Structure 1
Amino acid sequence: MSSRIDIQKRCKWCNAVFTAHKTTTEYCSHRCANLAYKDRVRKQRIESLQHELGKSIKTPSNLNKEYLIPSEVAKLLNVGRTSIYRYIRNGVIKVIRFERKTLVRR
């Protein structure tokens, strides 16, 4: 059974006023429906990626110390351990040296 009801509605995508034949119609055209769908999927993908990144980027609790060893500094700065030693050698990072121990103040 078809209905002969004509309802004036506003498109959720482009805000144009259109005549709908069903009460469930939300968009004025197939194009607006497709654009809204693509936008919805894009936002879901971005949200899921941000959620996954939030899980994967966690700093270990032992990095909250006041003094760190060079390998811990490398993890904290997301660079290689050899880069940290190069920064120390060039004077970019200040260190405290004991006999065989190198410590970096947080």
Structure 2
Amino acid sequence: MSSNIKVSRICQNCNQVFVARTTVTKYCGDTCAKRAYKVRQRKKKIKTSYEETLKLKLQPYEVLAVKDYLTVKEAASLLSISTRTTYRLINNGCLEAVNLSDRLIRIKRSALDKMLTQF
């Protein structure tokens, strides 16, 4: 619905002054409206991609938080340290671990929490 109203506005896309026929007009023309739409859609896609990536990054921590026994690699990722540092903590006696076999070292979750509260 058009009216006889003529309002001077500034385009939100190109920052040019234009005369609008309605009070809700944001853009000077169809091309600026389309460009602004594409920018909004691009930002929306980036936001959803970022949220999916964040969800995938946090998923392993949620799984590790539930486990009672952790491998050295899992404990290292939970503590945000290297596996070598985790082995060093085990060898120094700072972190209790059980050696089931040559490559089967397991760390109890309570031992990990105990070590963190000591420091």
Q: TM-score, normalised on structure 1?
A: 0.59
Report the RMSD for the aligned CA atoms in angstroms: 3.4
Distance in 1, Cα, partners of 2:19 & 2:100: 83
Cα distance change of structure 1 residues 41 and 99 upon mapping to structure 2, 3 Å threshold: closer
Aligned ranges 1:24-43 → 2 under 5 Å: 24-43=24-43
- Percent of pairs with identical residues: 33
Could you tell me which runs of 5 or more consecutive residues in structure 2 were left unpaired when the two chains were aligned.
78-83, 92-98, 106-119
Partner of 1:6: 6
Partner of 2:80: none
Q: How big is the shift at 1:70?
A: 5.9
Q: Secondary structure at the match of 2:18?
A: strand
Q: Secondary structure at the match of 2:24?
A: coil
Partner of 2:65: 61
Distance in 1, Cα, partners of 2:72 & 2:51: 30
Could you tell me which runs of 5 or more consecutive residues in structure 1 were left unpaired when the two chains were aligned.
77-92
Report if the CA contact (8 A) 2:13-2:36 is conserved.
yes
Aligned ranges 1:1-106 → 2 under 5 Å: 2-57=2-57, 58=59, 59=61, 60-61=64-65, 69=71, 72=74, 76=77, 100-102=101-103
Which amino acid in 1 is paired with 2:101?
Answer: R
Distance in 2, Cα, partners of 1:2 & 1:33: 18
Q: Secondary structure at the match of 1:52?
A: helix
Q: How big is the shift at 1:72?
A: 3.6
Q: Secondary structure at the match of 1:8?
A: strand
Q: Secondary structure at the match of 1:43?
A: helix
